[in-house]
Structure 1
């Protein structure tokens, strides 16, 4: 199991009922609903294979009505696509979607969301810092809740990443008046996407989607967990151009009234 799993918080912007905590609720979800898992990958040749192995094993251990894995290769220049293609050959429920060039995390997520066909949708990073069994925290709440969000309890980041993350949260709070510590790991009803247009290309999409969903009255829960250390490679978030893009997208959300 993933390390650092914590508590669950209840919240509603619309109507809803208190989720059940019993195992029977979880089993009903596994029998009655299908799940799309979007995996965002950019130059993750050493991580994407092990992540897919673990993900397929976890999905196979559940009782979903059906499932699919959508890997969005966001213009990788390494062997990421080849690693995914080898898994597609052995498991037809895995699909590879490719961007010709790197467009950003938000663009990759939007591509995956647009292709999702199941009742519920979630996303995982290809770096394997969120092991698939982390989703065990989310699934029991789905029969009662439109959107299950998450917050990290401890990322274990170096000081540079901590300062950047804190700066992002402060800027987002100042510009939008909203908390900005949601992680990209969430599970939600796919039908929410029908009424929520997403426009951001950076990781700001992980704030844009919940803000728009909650504004439309979606019921929600929040779970907390600690991610695992990166196994290989390095983060692609840091960079002056990426930071500038994040600020521009936050300003655009402010202009739109969020």
Structure 2
């Protein structure tokens, strides 16, 4: 008996109480011009109909797999559960209320192979809760080193693609801003991340106030500098100043 071929891309999606959005997210994956993928949705004990909706899609598309977390542990543990089950060479990250444009995987995989990127990322636009307003294009730098990423906000989770043949084994840290921690861990030992400046994704801005979200993110970044990356105080302050300025510029328009 011939074993089934491994998927080229494993899509890592944590979910929690997103019954309003998860269908659009899944359908944006199904609309990809690359069809050699698996979508691993790790549901973090949703109390709404999220898991039921995912199960319905999975019943008609074997590439979609629902992973039920035994207890609510947050996005880092949910992402790790999906990674533990991933079979693909590439890991793509897509949160459960965001969406991709149809050529996202095709364009980014070709770009990743051409640049031999352990980690790549793309431009994107923000959308509001009901997808009726689309913001300006959020452009990205051509490349980022570890030192540059410490001071930068450019790698949005829904745009990240990891080539495991180059990056090797990866693991989420159970920390706030676990995605930022992962990008840093990939680049820390000399890898360079490469940016594809094409509009390929839609990041959904939901009801939490902008001011509270900014303050929370700032606190998480400071925590990572001091307690995860163990940067000296002066370097942490220097990096934080640059990070905060870039974050302000990035968010000054929708």
TM-score range, shorter chain: 0.5 to 0.7
Question: 1:120: which partner in 2?
Answer: 90
Question: 1:82: which partner in 2?
Answer: 52
Call closer, same or farther: CA 1:108–1:33 in 2, change over 3 Å. Answer: closer
Q: Distance in 1 between matches of 2:55 and 2:209?
A: 23
Question: 2:40: which partner in 1?
Answer: 70
Q: Distance in 2 between matches of 1:236 and 1:101?
A: 27
**Two-structure CA RMSD over aligned residues (Å):** 3.8
Q: 2:117 aligns with which of 146, 157, 162?
A: 146
Q: Is the 8 A contact 1:155 1:226 kept in 2?
A: no
Q: 1:252 aligns with which of 216, 227, 247?
A: 227
Question: 1:95: which partner in 2?
Answer: 65
Could you give the per-residue CA deviations for residues 25-81 of structure 1, whole angstroms, max 9, x where no partner exists? xxxxxxx971111122221101111221231232xx3264xx211011122211100
Unmatched tracts of structure 1, length 5 or more: 1-31, 158-172
Question: 1:210: which partner in 2?
Answer: 183
Call closer, same or farther: CA 1:210–1:239 in 2, change over 3 Å. Answer: closer
Query: May I ask how many residue pairs the two structures share in their alignment?
Result: 207
Q: Is the 8 A contact 1:107 1:200 kept in 2?
A: yes
What TM-score comes out, normalization by structure 1 length? 0.64
Unmatched tracts of structure 2, length 5 or more: 1-5, 129-145, 237-254
What TM-score comes out, normalization by structure 2 length? 0.65
Q: Report how far residue 147 of structure 1 moved.
A: 2.8
Shifted more, 47-56 versus 79-88: the winner is 47-56
Could you give the per-residue CA deviations for residues 151-185 of structure 1, whole angstroms, max 9, x where no partner exists? 6565468xxxxxxxxxxxxxxx99x9532332112
